[in-house]
Amino acid sequence: MEKITRFVPLGFFTIFAIGWFVSDYESLDVINYTALVITALLVTQMFVNNKIAGFAISVLAIIFSVYMLGPVATDYKTFGNFSSGMVVRGVLFCIVIVLAVVNIYYYIKYKKTAKPL
């Protein structure tokens, strides 16, 4: 259970960041350095497993997910019904929130703080 709660959220966030990088590269033909740095930080977190960085990743994922609810609400207000894009964004919102909470649970339950020297 410990490995699942550690690798599934970080793996999903990493795959999401890689998809963001590839999407921007294919459509715009430019390198998105923000996505590249986020991908590198997530991969580094998988190997280093720092508790503070893990909490920060989870909290930022929750904040950005709530922030991205704005376009969904705007689309609903504009069009008056749910389109398939809104449903996909809503599902991604739910998945990210659940995985961020699972990641926070991992760092509270399993990851102990390092003892000072």
Q: 3-state DSSP helix/strand/coil percent for the chain, to nearest 5?
A: 85, 0, 15
pLDDT digits (tens, 9 = 90+) for 33-69: 999 999 999 999 988 888 888 899 999 999 988 888 8
Q: How many CA atoms lie within 13 A of 86 on its CB side?
A: 14
**pTM for the predicted model, two decimal places:** 0.77
The more confident residue out of 38 and 110 is: 38
CA–CA distances in Å: residue 106 to residues 10, 29, 73, 86: 11, 38, 31, 30
pLDDT digits (tens, 9 = 90+) for 87-103: 788 888 899 999 999 99
Q: Which of 55, 58, 54, 77 has its CA nearest to residue 66?
A: 58
* Dist. CA 39–CA 34, nearest whole Å: 9
DSSP state of 82: -
